[in-house]
Structure 1
């Protein structure tokens, strides 16, 4: 199971980047189509009559175990990940924005955008269980350990594309006050998916001279897969080869913003709110499956070679391998692995979030933005794409051609990070964590880059 557990780490080490996409730039005072990704009402505030996004790319990797210096110094990452009693959390989130356009016409703001998403997550995995499955409990002393975890331990990967149609309009614009509202309709194109969930897990892991067994155990196990992630979970090519599937889902973003303007008709304060990703997509493929099993291991004598042999999982590649091993062990050595329900096609909910932000102009050309992302769905559900809660504070210096900003992020998984971003004309580049990565033991790394231009 090593390759699956380390899927997030593989992405993190390959990309060496990671947290909230385009942080600082998605709230730029030079409003473009990219801003509409955080709140569709921003299309009513377009800086130019036409805004063309040529491309934008962002990748975020965050975790609660491995620091940036550990990667640089070549530390044994497996030892670090499974050290201590805190459950393991990894989140790798990549977004690729294709050619997109926003424009103003007939008193409205409109937008057409295409995006591809790649997400790999490890959530709430018990360190002792993860160690036993990946390393034959090499980090553990000989003996036994009893685990009880009522939460759902999940390993997931999701790939999908979306095509967004957006519209916004001013609802009120008098004197120094303006109110806008907007909506986006997203057409979803699910690519591939994999989920391993183990809820209500309890059992005893015994390590006898490298013979690692699970006894007196019970758990609910969900195994779901579709597309290229069914057989292999860690090959980056499998993620990028299935960015767009067939049209099979819809989602909605709804947002509003308020502006208090000064004598020059530019806002002194802007406050916005949006609920994004309200919807789900259905995965359909020839190899589709979602199954829920009950796992019970009754035998309590590992010394005699009974119970579930965990060494079998050490070098597997995909969810089908896990499922086949458990099925093969059913009825032997006290192991009962019973199918409770299954279906071929299945729905997966998008990570519904609430975006709240406020941008205040302190003096001419200098402003500060407060941005919050709050998860609204249950992250423990097997049919839910994971997301993180985040708060950022971004001081910003803006002129006509230049913009510089320093996003300071507070993330529930990786903690506090600080980064740097720049815009020169329509080109922008930045990172939410570069400053803390080079100055401290940051557990997050990220990078974003893009180019756009405006007309009129």
Structure 2
């Protein structure tokens, strides 16, 4: 169990990788397939008649506990820092790879086809005392008996899947000054791997006797689910590399509209204002691997019984955790499924990019969840708001995204574009000049003609 909880924290620092993908470049003046992934209506604004996406990737991690300054200045282990204080521990990891893609516009229409690979891993609302006990990182801080009483759902989960996207957009209204368009994107999903360990309404006592930790007088509702390679090991990065191994077992729909105020010289590659709204991730996917399982249990330990927590310290997958709990005799199964469905976190996105002066633009972007993703049948993300001043010519851009994120708070970044190549980070400035609980990097290359 220690390895599972520690895996996400190590990724924060070893991968050096924020939740909003492509922060700052996602509503670039050079409109391409990347823009349409945030709002499919943007396809009709393609800067070129045809575009080929070669490769884009974005790695994102944020947490609410550990900063770079903590790592540099503290002698404590990472897991000690994660479970320090009273606030529940949260961490989000997101990997997005945009593979080969093609888009074109024809008169009032635009079309696109894209390929994507996604990996997510999360620590969600884990009680610090329970986290310390399960990792044995807080043996010294857990003295005697420590009570844990949470009325929310604590989760550790991860998922990988592949996508093929089919996009369509059309200009609905256009004059010399204004343009209004709408678009949709249908994403066919290839669910590959999933794991979830959740403890809802956990109420119990942790006992420390000479470093031997145990759980007593405890009740909780548990969900233990796994499918695909991640079931064999949560801490092996190779288990997160499988994206298209299964067939099409899900879908997601994105819907968007775009409004543009054209430039005075009617330059199709410029504007006074470009804005839009979209609803994304309307859909779900079903996992059907050979090792599929999703079990719900009641955990019930009386005040005269004790569950040894030390035995979970070196366990690195939820299947072994489940077996140890079953061997203890404290679990009662309430339901089970061989195939299970995971809903995507439906998002509302809105943005506006305003031309303030020649080559100088300021944009605002937000993404907000429309669903409660605390349930076990949801993949999760986080809310964010970003303000980006940008100096932009036709073949270059320099920009500074400034964001407020649900998990990690304020971040400042930097990025640039030269032609079809771009590279940036939504948090590099705060990492250099201030403590930050977030780090990210992205890059990509596309060709327009």
TM-score, normalised to structure 2's length?
0.97
- Tell me how far 1:139 sits from its aligned partner: 4.4
Alignment of 1:372 onto 2:373: no
> Counterparts of 2:45 and 2:307 in 1: how far apart (Å)?
60
Q: Which consecutive unaligned segments of at least 5 residues does structure 2 have? A: none
Shift of 1:261: 2.3
Look up the match of 2:211: 210
Q: Which residue of 1 aligns with 2:377?
A: 383
CA distance in 2, matches of 1:65, 1:401: 40
* Rounded Cα–Cα distance in structure 1 between residues aligned with 2:95 and 2:33: 19
Q: Which residue of 2 aligns with 1:314?
A: 313
In 1, distance between residues paired with 2:142 and 2:32?
Answer: 56
Give the Å deviation of 1:138.
Answer: 1.8
TM superposition shift of 1:231? 2.1
Question: Cα offset for 1:106?
Answer: 4.1
User: How much has 1:176 moved relative to structure 2?
Assistant: 1.6
Equivalent-residue separation in structure 1 for 2:27 and 2:170 (angstroms): 18
Residue 377 of structure 1 deviates from its aligned partner by 1.8
1:430 aligns with 2:431: no
CA change 1:9–1:99 in 2 (3 A) is: same
**Distance in 1 of aligned mates of 2:370 and 2:291:** 31
Residues 63 and 443, structure 1, Cα contact 8 Å, conserved in 2: yes
Give the one of 333, 343, 350 matched to 1:339: 333
Deviation at 1:121, TM superposition (A): 0.3
CA distance in 2 between partners of 1:157 and 1:15 (Å): 17
> 2:45 — aligned with what?
45
Pick which of 243-252 and 27-36 moved more: 243-252
Question: What secondary structure does 2:33 align onto?
Answer: coil
The answer for unaligned runs of 5 or more in structure 1 is 301-305, 331-335
The residue that corresponds to 1:333 in the other structure is none
1:293 aligns with one of 293, 297, 319: 297
Moved more, 98-107 or 136-145: 136-145
Q: Which residue of 1 aligns with 2:278?
A: 274
Paired position in structure 1 for 2:166: 165
1:93 is displaced (CA, Å) by 0.2
| Contact 2:194 2:230 (C-alpha < 8 Å) held by counterparts | yes
Instruction: Work out the CA distance in 2 between the residues paired with 1:244 and 1:91.
Output: 24
- Following superposition, the deviation at residue 350 of structure 1 comes to 1.2
Note closer, same or farther for the CA distance 1:133–1:362 as it changes in structure 2 (3 Å cut).
Answer: same
1:35-65 Cα distance to aligned partner (Å, 9 max, x none) = 0110000001000001111100100010011
Aligned to 1:19: 19
* In 2: Cα distance, 1:37 partner to 1:272 partner: 13
- The answer (yes or no) to whether the contact 2:162–2:243 under 8 Å persists in 1 is no
Q: Deviations over 1:269-328 (max 9, x none)?
A: 12210011110011001100000000011124xxxxx41111111111101111001100
- 5 Å-filtered alignment, 1:67-216, equals 67-73=67-73, 75=75, 76-135=77-136, 137-216=138-217
1:410 to 404, 420, 423: 404
| C-alpha separation in 2, matches of 1:254 and 1:232 | 37
Checking the alignment, whether the CA contact within 8 Å between 2:115 and 2:163 is kept in structure 1 is yes
Following superposition, the deviation at residue 179 of structure 1 comes to: 0.8
Give the Cα separation in 1 of the matches to 2:339 and 2:198.
Answer: 18
1:80-103 Cα distance to aligned partner (Å, 9 max, x none): 111100000010100011011111
Q: Is the 8 A contact 1:159 1:243 kept in 2?
A: no
Q: Contact 1:12/1:18 (CA < 8 Å) preserved in 2?
A: no
Tell me how far apart the structure 2 counterparts of residues 402 and 270 of structure 1 sit (CA, whole Å).
18
Name the CA distance, whole Å, in 2 between partners of 1:413 and 1:249: 28
1:447, distance to aligned residue in structure 2 (A)? 0.2
Q: How far does residue 136 in structure 1 lie from its aligned partner after superposition?
A: 6.0
Flag the 1:320–1:162 CA change in 2: closer, same or farther, 3 A: same
Whether the 8 Å CA contact 2:19–2:381 is kept in 1: the answer is no
Residue 242 of structure 1, CA deviation: 4.2
Aligned length: 445
Looking at structure 1, the residues matched to 415 and 193 of structure 2 have their Cα atoms a distance apart, in angstroms, of 32
- Say whether the 8 Å CA contact 1:19–1:445 is kept in structure 2: no
Give secondary structure in 2 for the equivalent of 1:230: helix
Question: Are 1:58 and 2:82 counterparts?
Answer: no
**3-state SS of 1:436 partner:** helix
**C-alpha separation between the residues in 2 aligned to 1:228 and 1:73?**
37
Q: Quote the residue 1:420 is aligned against.
A: 414
For 2:216 and 2:402, locate their aligned partners in 1 and report how far apart those are by CA, in whole Å: 46
Q: Deviations over 1:388-419 (max 9, x none)?
A: 00000000111122101100010010000000
**Alignment partner, residue 454 of structure 1:** 448
Q: Cα RMSD (Å) of the superposition?
A: 1.3
Query: 1:136 touches 1:210 (CA, 8 Å); kept in 2?
Result: no
| CA apart distance, 1:369 | 0.6
Number of the residue aligned with 1:325? 324
Secondary structure at 1:34 match in 2: helix
- SS of corresponding position for 2:44: helix
Cα distance between partner residues in 2 of 1:101 and 1:141: 56
Conserved 8 A contact 1:52-1:454: yes
Q: Name the CA distance, whole Å, in 1 between partners of 2:136 and 2:295.
A: 27
Q: Is 1:82–1:139's contact at 8 Å kept on the other side of the alignment?
A: no
**Of residues 418, 438, 445 in structure 2, which corresponds to 1:444?**
438
